[in-house]
Amino acid sequence: MSKPTLFFLQTPLLPGFGLSFGVSVLYLSLVILLPLSALLLYVSDMTWAQYWFAISDPRVVQSYKVTVSAALYSTLAVLLIGLLLAWIITRYDFPGRRIVDALVDLPFALPTSVAGLTLAALLVPNGWIGQWLGFKVAYAYAGIIVAMVFTSLPFVVRTVQPVLQDLGAEYEEAARTLGASRLQIFRHVVLPTLTPALVTGGSQAFIRSLGEFGAVIMIAGNIPFQTEVSSLMIFVRLQEFNYPAAAAIASVILLASLILLFALQVLQGRIFAWQRQGR
Amino acid sequence: MLKKIVLATVASATLLTGSLSHAAADTPFHNASYDIARELFGEINPLFVEHWKQQSGKEVKIIQSFAGTSRQAQDIIQGKKVDVVTFNQVTDVDILAKRKLLREDWAQQFPNNSSPYYSTTAFLVREGNPKNIKSWDDLIRDDVKLVFPNPKTSGNARYSYLGAWLFANEKFNGDEEKIKAFVGKLLKNVENFPTGGRGATVAFAQNGQGDVLLTFESEVINIAKGDEFKSANLEIVVPEVSVLAEFPVAIVDKVADERGTREQAKAFLDFQYSKDIQQLLTRYNYRVHHPEVVEATKAQFAPVRLINPTKLLGSWDEITAKHFDNGGILDQLLAAGR
């Protein structure tokens, strides 16, 4: 009687650990691992020098800078807007609240290229919104950020919202009876509880923005060295029938996302520890 | 607009049911074409079905697909079963030949380099041509902003680039440094690089970007005269000299032989050279070869001297390697212009 047998014998709600685990791993492999290994297969055809050449081309490097910086700005914006949206949806009751709640998911449903096209039409200098802005948004760097905000907003709202709902108003009321000011309540009661959700939602939004293609290329203007994002560089390499180079750039973005996700796991552990200490 | 949508829905529904009911009758053959040929082949395909029935007494079914032709070529390389290609770029057919999907000498299989029709790069300008744009020379002025797709992702834009290059080549008698400076300046004037032709049209005509749009002459005329942007009163400018843009067709031998569709495929491509279809092509503002049609539609097309890029710059392989590959002249000029 060794421990692993016992492990396989345990019976939670779903029947058969072996079967459920097997099916899960199969799907994970088919849907995620297999395509990723195919990507690496393309890369494996290259020598290290070729790989380095493909990923360090000045134009590609500039595209990393554009992508990462725009993703950072958009993540900051999304955190602010997302927190606010989640807050009004859970804490206030107003006519049309459920409509607002439903609208939040729209960017997930809308084809991103359609979103990009529409945003561009709105934000060009003679567009509905663009005519009121003093600077160029569509077909410029700012447009990339707008597109990224649009496509990644639901991530923050949908991770913060359940936590806010769970939090309930009791803690805030308790704090108020103890004489805390509104700011103090927000800083010491609400924010610490929301931090893990904000970090998770924010990083998901960031990673999504790194890979965003459809919406961004429609509004970016795609001027080399200025408004070209990395996903467009992959597309460009594919158009040159240069599959290995495209895969190489993709592998860089993939690696960055993986590292980020892993760091996030570690960070979340830390945040939970910090929260427990604070209580 | 609504009428269009309804028509399209009905058409696709009939297509779908049609393909179901005829599935057993005859092996359908697949024609892969470029994005903006949607309306064109929407007209040609039913005519061919009719024609083939009269000629051979047999039913034939055409599966039609549209996408950027580089995208199509990639799909075919990766295994999409396509019997004939009707592309807007020679290089995308060449890449199929290189992967042994069709014969090396495909361009000799049909008349006129296997291009039933052709076009050139022309300009579309705003109402009244306020910047007075007449020729390639005007495109490098400091006060002129251009819109055309990214030559890396659009074949159409590669012709615009080559048009500028060939013009400068004549102007500077082949002095490559001067040509590069000219084309580099032109690229620097580009305000927006959409990834495809339609994106460029939207940016220019609808979103008011730039002073001039560069694209195929056929598209330029379609945009200017079509209903969608009629109110913008856009004007067509055809420069005196421009680049010959051939629209090649070919049988994908490997697939056609495998599925036994060669006969229909060949007949379909021959059909493109028939008088009726050549006439139809001119309605879409493509230039054609059929002498009677050319004579009859003389007034429709502005006089232009067309330069075949392969006559001056070498084979398409050489042109691609020198200009469009990673690190080629296009990349150098874009890097220098930043």
ipTM for the predicted complex: 0.74
Residue whose pair of structure tokens reads 């902003």 in the numeric block: B145
Q: Which residues of B touch A226 (CB under 8 A)?
A: 338
- Report the range of poorest mean pLDDT among A16-30, A188-202, B13-27, B134-148: B13-27
Portion of chain B with pLDDT greater than 90, in percent = 70
- Over 50: is that where the pLDDT of A198 sits? yes
Confidence of residue B241 (pLDDT cuts 50, 70, 90): very high
Contacts of B51 (CB under 8 A, 6+ apart): B267, B271
Model pLDDT, residue B19: 47
- Over 80: is that where the pLDDT of A190 sits? yes
Contact B192 A238 (CB under 8 A): no
Model pLDDT, residue B228: 84
Q: Which residues of B touch A125 (CB under 8 A)?
A: 208
- Over 70: is that where the pLDDT of B21 sits? no
Model pLDDT, residue B3: 56
B76 close to B101: Cβ distance less than 8 angstroms = yes
Class of residue A37 by CB neighbours under 10 A (exposed 0-12, middle 13-18, buried 19+):
exposed
Model pLDDT, residue B184: 95
Mean pLDDT (whole number) for A207-229? 91
pLDDT tens for residues B80-92?
A: 999 999 998 899 9
- Over 50: is that where the pLDDT of B60 sits? yes
Model pLDDT, residue B68: 81
Mean pLDDT (whole number) for B236-256? 95
Nearest CA in chain A to B71: A239
Q: Which residue has the higher pLDDT, B244 or B17?
A: B244
Mean pLDDT (whole number) for A92-110? 90
The mean pLDDT of chain B is 89
pLDDT tens for residues A235-279?
A: 988 888 888 999 999 999 999 988 988 888 888 888 778 777 655
Taking any CB pair shorter than 8 Å as contact, residues of chain B touching chain A are: 70, 73-74, 95, 150, 152-153, 190-195, 199, 202-203, 206-209, 324-327, 331, 334-335, 337-338
Contact A236 B209 (CB under 8 A): no
Distance CA B309, CA B163 (A): 8
- Over 70: is that where the pLDDT of B15 sits? no
Nearest CA in chain B to A116: B199
Distance CA B202, CA A218 (A): 10
Q: Which residues of A touch B192 (CB under 8 A)?
A: 139, 221-223
Supply the DSSP symbol for B260.
T
- Over 70: is that where the pLDDT of B24 sits? no
Kindly compute the dihedral angle of the four CA atoms of residues A144, A148, A151, A156, in this order, to the nearest 10 degrees.
-160
Model pLDDT, residue A153: 95
Model pLDDT, residue A73: 97
- Report the range of poorest mean pLDDT among A171-180, A217-226, B22-31: B22-31
Mean pLDDT (whole number) for B149-158? 86
- Over 50: is that where the pLDDT of A2 sits? no
Model pLDDT, residue A274: 75
Nearest neighbour of B208 by CB, restricted to A124, A222, A235: A124
Q: Which residues of B touch A242 (CB under 8 A)?
A: 326
pLDDT tens for residues B193-207?
A: 888 888 888 889 988
Distance CA A138, CA A88 (A): 29
Model pLDDT, residue B136: 96
- Over 90: is that where the pLDDT of A91 sits? no
Q: Which of B192, B209, B322 should we substitute to test contact with A (largest number of A Cβ atoms within 10 Å)? A: B192
- Over 50: is that where the pLDDT of A3 sits? no
Distance CA A177, CA B275 (A): 90
- Over 90: is that where the pLDDT of B108 sits? yes
Contact A223 B193 (CB under 8 A): yes
Contact B326 A237 (CB under 8 A): yes
Confidence of residue A44 (pLDDT cuts 50, 70, 90): confident
Q: What are phi and psi of B94, to 5 degrees?
A: -55, -40
Contact A217 B70 (CB under 8 A): no
Supply the DSSP symbol for A31.
I
Mean pLDDT (whole number) for A16-42? 87
Structure tokens of A162?
């359940």
Q: How far is B316 from chain A (nearest CA, A)?
A: 14
Q: Which residue has the higher pLDDT, A279 or A157?
A: A157
The mean pLDDT of chain A is 88
Where residue B79 falls (left for φ over 0; alpha for ψ -120 to 50; beta otherwise) is left
Contact A57 B153 (CB under 8 A): no
**Helices A230-239 and A243-278 meet at what angle, rounded to 10?**
160
Q: What is the DSSP string of A187-255?
A: IIIIHHHHHHHHHHHHHHHHHHHHH--HHHHHHH---TTTS--HHHHHHHHHHTT-HHHHHHHHHHHHH
Nearest neighbour of A117 by CB, restricted to B70, B202, B338: B202
- Over 90: is that where the pLDDT of B141 sits? yes
Mean pLDDT (whole number) for B235-262? 94
Considering only CA atoms, which of B249, B222, B247, B248 is closest in space to residue B236? B222
- Over 60: is that where the pLDDT of B173 sits? yes
B196 close to B35: Cβ distance less than 8 angstroms = yes
> Whole-prediction pTM value?
0.81
Mean pLDDT (whole number) for A119-123? 91
Q: How far is A202 from chain B (nearest CA, A)?
A: 29
